[in-house]
Amino acid sequence: MQSKSSLSDSPTIKERWPEGAIVYHIYPRSLQDSNGDGIGDLQGIISRLDYIKSLGVNAVWLSPFYPSPMADFGYDVAEFCDVDPIFGTLDDFKQLLQEAGKRDIKVMIDLVPNHTSDEHPWFIESAKSRDNKYADWYIWQDPKFEEGSSVPQPPNNWIDMFGGESAWQWVPARQQYYLHTFDVRQPDLNWTNPEVREAIKDVMRFWLDLGVDGFRVDAVYFMGKDPMFDDDLDNPYYEEGRDDRSNALRRENSQGWPMVYGYVREMSEVFKEDKYKDKELFMVVETYPDRHNSVASYMAFYVSMDPKLVAPFNFGGITVPWEAHEWRKFLKTFHTATDHYSPHCVASYAFGNHDLPRLIDRIGHEAAARSAAVLLLTLPGMAFIYYGEEIGMHNVDIPPEFVHDPQAKRNPHQPAGRDPVRTPMQWSTEKYGGFTTGDTTWLPMAADFRDNNVAVQEKD
Ligand code: NOJ
């Protein structure tokens, strides 16, 4: 692989921190508990910053820690500019920023612009009537009626991502349906409304003023929808009884309309405002590529916005089969495309995250996971490491009574869901692996934590 600078057409580009950064992805519930309640928190994270630094990490990304009823474990945000008491306080977060700063670690936080919790004050107000200040902040549609019937039906056939049921929920007070791409408790914001766009930009400003260095932006592909709300088409590859029902339709109308690029660009332009323009701020957006041409899907993001400010996650580490020739082809296509387009494009590789099976289980065995780590850490651009990946944490079997994940609860074909990859970090051979001093952990510890943990590996 040629280095990025040797392919660049501009030898004078300043090296910015995202180019070559190693980003440690923290799932706050699961890294370290500091108060014995069995759930990780911000003080816990602060206490582990020295370890994180010792890995050679330059930045951290924190999954959501905002007030939330936890229907989707924080991706259902009930207040964008605060900290859920489970995780601590805003002062704890300020302390985290300071402590990370002392160690020269950048802090990226999760921004969830596509939806809120149904307990967010905007939604509570919006659901009350059709003529309040927030009436048009969510996606409301009138019902359809079958001939001769007065029973309201959803406006179209769109289905949600968590179980594949109708993505519409009826609200009697408005005599209308609201759209929820994910859980029924996660209503979609209406991005066609400029007030919504400004409100999310204010959220960004709030955290930038505190000193964060950037954002990981959740589920952006869903922000652009067909304004006529036409039905989605059947997915010809879907097989009932075998596949997750949320894949029954091709989401050509319920997601991915090109307005997405305009919305993300508009968000990123906050970074150019006077207050922020001299800082090196960056955002990485979550978008799963079109399965037939993933590089083209990534390029659509680079060319639609300033690549110095935004990159799409490169999920090649998840989608490309673990075969050398497949990887060679993918890398060659990706880096030829980005380098030809602009020397400023930052690749942003992730081989695992809180939604996907652990790398070592997906890829099959330890030796392959080691090679994947070498690949990840030598590719140009940003390398995202999901907590525990560095010690080869496995998927953990979750007994049915411990299942938390809404995706699992509503999906008979995914009985374990995403909980197996969210189990507590394995720090030591102590009780509960050093994760908590309490009497319980929110998800079970891996059975092998006494053999596989940070303390053991540090001596290896
Ligand atoms: C993607 C996040 O990574 C996932 O955890 C979450 O459930 C959905 N977006 C909805 O916010």
pLDDT digits (tens, 9 = 90+) for 373-409: 999 999 999 999 999 999 999 999 999 889 999 988 8
Q: What is the mean pLDDT of residues 259-273?
A: 98
Out of 218, 232, 339, 419, which one is annotated catalytic? 218
For residue 113, the model assigns a pLDDT of 98
For residue 2, the model assigns a pLDDT of 35
Q: Measuring CA to CA, which residue among 261, 274, 211, 283 is closest to residue 16?
A: 283
Res 39 pLDDT > 60 = yes
How many whole angstroms from 233 Cα to the centroid of ligand 1?
A: 23
Strand pairing report for 152-153 and 214-217? unpaired
Strand partners, 178: 140, 169
Instruction: Give catalytic status of residue 286 as yes or no.
Output: yes
Instruction: Give catalytic status of residue 458 as yes or no.
Output: no
Q: What percent of the chain has pLDDT over 70?
A: 96
**106: buried, middle or exposed (CB in 10 Å: 19+, 13-18, 0-12)?**
buried
* pTM of the entire predicted model: 0.95
For residue 50, the model assigns a pLDDT of 98
How many whole angstroms from 219 Cα to the centroid of ligand 1?
A: 7
Token pair for 119? 């307990």
CA gap 339, 10 in Å, rounded: 11
CA gap 26, 87 in Å, rounded: 13
pLDDT digits (tens, 9 = 90+) for 324-337: 999 999 999 999 99
Res 13 pLDDT > 60 = no
pLDDT digits (tens, 9 = 90+) for 43-75: 999 999 999 999 999 999 999 999 999 999 999
Element (H, E) at 283: strand 282-285
Q: What single DSSP character describes residue 431?
A: G
Residue among 66, 70, 182, 353 to mutate when testing ligand 1 (max atoms within 8 A of CB): 182
Strand partners, 311: 284
Strand partners, 109: 62, 215
DSSP reduced 3-state for 199 = helix
Confidence of residue 119 (pLDDT cuts 50, 70, 90): very high
Q: Please, what is the average pLDDT of the chain?
A: 94
Out of 160, 213, 232, 286, which one is annotated catalytic? 286
Q: What single DSSP character describes residue 410?
A: T
Q: What is the mean pLDDT of residues 131-136?
A: 98
CA gap 302, 312 in Å, rounded: 8
CA gap 383, 61 in Å, rounded: 11
Confidence of residue 295 (pLDDT cuts 50, 70, 90): very high
Confidence of residue 350 (pLDDT cuts 50, 70, 90): very high
